[in-house]
A and B are shown apart, each in its own frame.
Chain A
Amino acid sequence: EVQLVQSGAEVRKPGESLNISCQGSAFSSPNYWVGWVRQMPGKGLEWIGIIYPSDSETTYSPSFQGRVTISADKSINTAYLHWSSLQASDTAIYYCATWSGTYRAFDYWGQGALVTVSS
């Protein structure tokens, strides 16, 4: 079974940068992407974007384009979500998940990483 392990909770000030990570065993498997999903406090799920680790092809939601950067290092089976300048509105839990190209669904999820942005 695929396991995704995310980095821990982070607290940052507005304007600071941040990288969170997600390590998993399926990243080098064909037909598997890695996606990121945001869940703001008490709210629903929002699709941020997705990356194909084998060639780093990335697609973003227009709502998040330019606000975050998704990357991956297939040599260490790790995907990243990066902010160059955090805002208080980025406070949320961020999940990574593997996207099966066969079933076209997020089939395995990380445990989530709480990002708190506060002055």
Chain B
Amino acid sequence: DIQMTQSPSSLSASVGDRVTITCRASQTIFTYLNWYHQIPGKPPKVLIYSASHLESGVPSRFSGSGSGTDFTLTINSLQPADFGTYYCQQSYTTPHSFGQGTKVDIK
């Protein structure tokens, strides 16, 4: 199985800050990488697919980059609605494993 490792595990940031979350795969996954956001008590929601493609309806302050084994999710100008946990997921091969999550708190 491909292991996905996110960093940091948690962070606190202020409204308006730029936030960066990284995800590393244990082997190359090309650009088969998705990002999800989950608010407590709700199902996850896809933000980014194929490493850098913004899902329809997702605010443009979210962006993704990377290829191979190293990927980044960036949130420009953090908003209160952005608190919660972010997960990366590789879609290169089954099982389509998730990272352990990055919890974002709003200061």
Contact = CB atoms under 8 A, between A and B. Distances in A.
Interface stretch (A10-18, A67-75, A83-91, A103-111): A103-111
B43 A95 contact: yes
Q: Is the interface of A mostly helix, strand, loop or mixed?
A: strand
A104 B43 contact: no
Given A103-B50, A104-B32, A105-B49, A47 B43 contact: no
Contacts of A106: 34, 36, 44, 46, 89
B98 A44 contact: yes
A63 B49 contact: no
Interface of A: 35, 37, 44-47, 49-50, 59-63, 95, 97, 103-107, 109-112
Nearest to A35: B96
Q: List the 3 closest pairs (A to B, CB-CB), nearest first.
A: A109-B43, A61-B95, A104-B91
B95 A44 contact: no
Interface residues of B, number: 25
A106 B48 CA distance: 11
Contact of B87 (A44, A50, A61): A44
Interface of B: 1, 32, 34, 36, 38, 43-46, 49-50, 53, 55, 85, 87, 89, 91, 94-101
A105 B34 contact: yes
Contacts of A46: 98
Nearest to B53: A103
B12 to A, nearest CB: 19
A63 B55 CA distance: 30
Contacts of A47: 89, 94-98
